[in-house]
Amino acid sequence: MIAITIEKLVKKFGDTVALNGISLRIEPGELFFLLGPSGCGKTTLLRNIAGFYIPDEGRILFGDEDVTALPPHKRNTGMMFQSYALWPHMTVAKNVAFGLEERRVPQAEIRQRVQTALESVQMGPYAERKIAQLSGGQQQRVALARALVIRPRCVLLDEPLSNLDARLRLEMRSEIRRVCKENGLTAIYVTHDQKEALSISDRMAVLEGGRIAQIGTPEQVYRRPKTRVVADFIGETNFLNGKIQSLDGAKALVETNEGLFEGFLGDPEWMPSAGDSVLLSIRPESWSLCSAPALMNSVKGRIGESVYLGEVAQYQLQASAHDLKVFELNPHISARAQGQEFFALASVDDVVVLKP
Amino acid sequence: MSRSFSRLVFLVTAIFFVLFFLWPISETLYGAFIGSDGKFTIDYIAEVFRNPLYVEGLWNSLQMGVWSTLLASLIAIPLAWMSDRFFFPGKSLLGALVLVPMIMPPFVGAIGVKQILGQQGALNALLVDIGLLDSTHPIDWLGEGRIWGVIILNALHLYPILYLNVLAALANVDPAMEEAAENLGCTGFRKFCRITLPLIMPGIFAGGTIVFIWSFTELGVPLMFDFTRVTSVQIFYGIKDIGANPFPFALVVVLLCATVLLYAGSKLLFARDSHAMMAKATSQGGPRQAGLAMGLVCSGAFGLVTFLAVLPHIGVILVAFSTDWYQTILPRGWTLSHFEAALGHSLTLPSIQNSLKYAGLATILDLILGVAIAYVVVRTRLAGRQILDAMAMLPLAVPGLVLAFGYLAMTQEGKPFAFLNPTIDPLIILVIAYSVRRLPYVVRSAAAGFQQTSVTLEEAAQNLGCPPLRTLRRITIPLIAANLLAGGLLAFSFAMLEVSDSLILAQKQQDFPITKAIYELYQLLGEGRFVASALGVWAMAFLAVTIIGTSLILGKKLGAIFRA
């Protein structure tokens, strides 16, 4: 179990700056996610950690050891590739044994460890199969076993579930968390699927244009996004434009053309002043629909389109200047007829004030 | 792989090319443009165009190139079209067999052609037999200058190159383009001429250029026909006094300029104008089942072409087994004595040994260089890798005769490479000559292998602790083994039957490879052609065993090897 420290990493490809001064620390045994839209630099960062790219500036530390200039084969990381990269000319067992052979582990021990690794991903009976004879989910398990059997210093996962169907994805993501936690592994997981990140990560970093937009636990990132991009990328949200009326520590009073709102600043280091333009982010599920207005944090509107999904209903609420998304749990959709007027209320805790 | 290693590979291959490709050419240029007084002169080149003998040679070479290419296109384009459009009975077998003539030695086939088409040959005998010809006035099929024999043999030898190119070009044509033409009322042959043919022109030109360069400078076949009024043979005879005579140099330079201009011209022409690759295919094309009539036509065409192409070699086999063959359709009697004579001749066994040694070493050198170059070109972002790629393809544009001559020129006494002079020991210079000319095939097939193999397969191995070079050995090479085998096999086969380097560079009897031994045996009076044919049959049998054996090991059909 080691910590991974990344210091002011810069990586350029020609004129494009793929990573622009990334610094972060991943704690020992942590399941850490790198998240962001495509082109944000998350895979580039992972490949720097694996050693396939050498950064132009900055350092990468495994524990106290500086590995920045170390070639990939000396880093002892276990990587799982998006395409799995299983070798078609070898059997399942040979694929898994490869890393141990490179480490000159005695034959008897290799056999035993390969078998254990395959069993731990429920692939024990498939040891002598050819890779082409496996389904996508089975290949994924073999790739995981191959990365873990060498007892790496850390596991690197590059969108490992993106080639699987939805059901298998659900099953495998908890499987990956279980295996990482059971072995006490430091793991870095790259994905663009926010559900994967929210459901199994200890902490995550959201990347945006080669920089880190936010680091935090799933709840911190979801409930207190620091930037507009983070709020937009993780989950769904409603944006309202407004101007700051007054400030009270991290709390701000914001005037919008739907009414007055009180909320918390998303970025605690941000120091706006009264009169500044801001953006409010309010999640669809934090609204509650009432028939009476409140002093603050309420929007008047008419029900537009609605989608009934059983456990939840999604309404479009047509307010004076915005169309809002409103989710209602355990809904009574017959009581929310199209055209009917309602007030949507959000609690202070659910209103996030962002830079526009 | 680490940058420094890639740079090293780049440097080593680049130095190899400078020394054994650019240097011999520049030595030739030096000989052609620098007079005995050490000053620059164009007198020698001018004299080439003033001397009627040389002009006639050039004119004949040009005819040889143009007619061979046209004839090969006439054979290859219809075949490729049929193969692209239809399934027909026996397609996979016929499609493989139709490629076989490419590795049959045309220069050995010449013996067979003379036997069949000669004035006292089998065809005239057949016509006399069925009463169409008066035996006292035989038809001279080959023409007085024998140029038609050369052209027919070249075309029958080289059409597979065009066939493969055209087939690839046809596969690239978006079927929607033709459907659009049909939709607008243009069908059949008209559609082929107005839409399909223009679209596959780059492919036809790419193949046609290689065929032209090859036949324009062919040495072995005209030599076997005693057709001496052609530039390649004039150069060959001029080599005897290479130290004193500047005209072989000048002739080589003229050939070189013509081929390089043609090669560069066709590259430029189609680099600007690559419309065939503009769009990805939008609809599934693929061949369809041919009707009964069309199926028979297709199968018949493939069978007939293959038969005609191997007919010269069948002739050779018959000659090898015959006691006498003169003015008859088939030989008058059969014997095995020529094979004994061939094996018993002091030239034979050493020549087989030599050929195996030269071709084997050249293939190994090709594989090492080819994998290295393909790796740098496909897998690294090293500046200048495109130059390396272009360099590795250049031997296709430079005739073997020119390079062979250049090697001879650069190893003359007093030159820096005199220690490699072939009159001392031709081993090194022959191996290099063989390998440089075949390098493009190996580089191409290795590069295709690298392109088909995802780089993450290599990264996964490095991630698990495998250093780059061992990754190449444990992961990459096994994955591209089929490609390497195909490329290596092609290189080996061509090297075994190489003519111009062998005739020019092997100068002592004990150093002769098979081809030069066949040529020397053929010169013997009396039994000559029978014994030469017998050795030719040995060589062909040997080659067939190699290729069939490899295709069995590969578990693939013969054709797949040559398409890689």
* ipTM (interface predicted TM): 0.74
Interface membership of A89 toward B (CB under 8 Å): yes
Interface membership of A146 toward B (CB under 8 Å): yes
Tell me if B464 and A150 make a contact (CB, 8 A cut-off): yes
DSSP three-state, residue B159: helix
Average pLDDT over residues A202-224: 93
Residue B99 or residue A59, greater confidence: A59
Interface membership of A162 toward B (CB under 8 Å): no
Q: Which residue has the tokens 């989950």?
A: A235
Tell me if A85 and B460 make a contact (CB, 8 A cut-off): yes
Distance from CA of B548 to the nearest CA of A (A): 24
Q: What predicted TM-score, i.e. pTM, was given to this entire model?
A: 0.75
Tell me if B460 and A73 make a contact (CB, 8 A cut-off): no
Q: What is the pLDDT of residue B276?
A: 41
Residue of A49, A67, A79 to mutate when probing chain B, most B C-beta within 10 A = A79
DSSP state string for B485-541: HHHHHHHHHHHHT--HHHHHH--SGGG--HHHHHHHHHHSSSSHHHHHHHHHHHHHH
Tell me if A89 and B454 make a contact (CB, 8 A cut-off): no
Q: What is the pLDDT of residue B2?
A: 62
Tell me if A99 and B2 make a contact (CB, 8 A cut-off): no
Tell me if A72 and B460 make a contact (CB, 8 A cut-off): no
Of residues A73, A82, A89, nearest to B479 (C-beta): A89
Q: What is the pLDDT of residue A6?
A: 94
pLDDT in tens, B462-472: 999 888 888 88
- From B479, which residue of chain A is nearest by alpha-carbon distance? A89
Tell me if A99 and B467 make a contact (CB, 8 A cut-off): no
Distance from CA of B474 to the nearest CA of A (A): 10
Average pLDDT taken over every residue of chain A: 90
Element (H, E) at B112: helix B106-117
* φ, ψ (nearest 5 deg) of residue B246: -80, -10
DSSP state string for B339-408: HHHHHHSTTHHHHHHHHHHHHHHHHHHHHHHHHHHHHHHHH---TTHHHHHHHHHGGGTS-HHHHHHHHH
Q: What is the pLDDT of residue A281?
A: 93
Residue A284 or residue B127, greater confidence: A284
Average pLDDT over residues A201-217: 93
Of residues A73, A89, A146, nearest to B462 (C-beta): A73
Interface membership of A88 toward B (CB under 8 Å): yes
- Under DSSP, the state recorded for B322 is B
Q: What is the pLDDT of residue B558?
A: 42
Cα separation, B506 vs B425, whole angstroms: 9
Residues of A in contact with B467 (CB under 8 A): 71, 73
Interface membership of A242 toward B (CB under 8 Å): no
Extract the tokens encoding A81. 């590739």
Q: What is the pLDDT of residue B332?
A: 73
DSSP state string for B202-238: HHHHHHHHHHHHHHHT--HHHHHTT--SSHHHHHHHH
Tell me if B460 and A102 make a contact (CB, 8 A cut-off): no
Interface membership of B462 toward A (CB under 8 Å): yes
Interface membership of B452 toward A (CB under 8 Å): no
pLDDT < 50: residue spans in chain B: 273-283, 556-564
Residues of A in contact with B2 (CB under 8 A): 71
Tell me if A73 and B466 make a contact (CB, 8 A cut-off): yes
- From B456, which residue of chain A is nearest by alpha-carbon distance? A85
Of residues A88, A89, A150, nearest to B465 (C-beta): A150
Q: What is the pLDDT of residue B285?
A: 58
pLDDT in tens, A136-170: 888 988 998 998 898 899 999 998 888 778 888 88
**Percent of residues, chain A, with pLDDT higher than 90:** 43
Interface membership of A114 toward B (CB under 8 Å): no
pLDDT in tens, A88-121: 888 899 999 988 988 889 999 999 999 999 988 8
Distance from CA of B2 to the nearest CA of A (A): 8
**Among candidates A119, A106, A191, A108, which has minimal Cα distance to A148?**
A119
Cα separation, B285 vs A83, whole angstroms: 29
Distance from CA of B467 to the nearest CA of A (A): 6
Of residues A52, A83, A150, nearest to B454 (C-beta): A83
Strands A312-318 and A351-354: unpaired
